Structure 1
Amino acid sequence: MGLKIHNRPRGSGKTQECIDRMKSDEKLLMLVTTHKQKEYYPKELHDRIIVAKNIGDTLNHIQTHNPTKIQPGGFMLKKLLIDEGFLGMSRTDIANFYYELGEIYSDVEMYCTDSQEKHTL
């Protein structure tokens, strides 16, 4: 599993990039934390957008709903895209979240705007 972070300013086209990527690759899923965030995406992508606030709900959704519809009882997830809602988590929770995502054996990319850039760890 690989992790890539796209840290760019607000209004720089992150959401549109995700939309374009999802339209061109049916094996991509998007993770958001609220239903309001999901509404920013076109309706035809909604079946591949997971609304969850924690890793347990995320993994459960992927495993039970088979969102990439490859075959009964299985799924083929190429990459999980994350909309920036998880940045409100503590650093420990974020580290644990990515560790737990290792269960899906997939690459993960987060699109975010880090308003805390000037702070040190």
Structure 2
Amino acid sequence: MKALLALIILSSIGAYVPYAQAQDVNVELIPPEFTLCGKVITRKDAEYVEIRNWLSENKRGWDIDWNTPIAGLLYSYPSYSIVVFPTGVHVGYKTDNGFTRLIKSKKHNLKTSCESVS
């Protein structure tokens, strides 16, 4: 019985460890456009370029987010969303395996509200 319990515990830990490790944002899945503050921005817009470049430069070292409600500047697309808040960035996107939700606490110079978007 003790051996079975030990096996269950070790299996649970083994299944959890990959999820607890730092994750990478898949920048290849960034869509060609976002809705930002009520307008559509594309690869030609400064706001799009800024967030894509930031994600590309910061694609490593993210944590899995289990469903933290976050208020901030929302870049939305049906299969990809980004929320920029004063102390970090949250990214959620659809993959073939489900919906990935990642969060990174990091100081940045990105805009965090529609009032700050030109």
Greater RCO structure (CA 8 Å; 6+ sep):
1
Does the pair score TM above 0.5? no
- TM (norm. structure 1) is 0.23
Q: TM-score scaled to structure 2, two decimals?
A: 0.23
From the two aligned structures, give the one with the greater helix fraction. 1
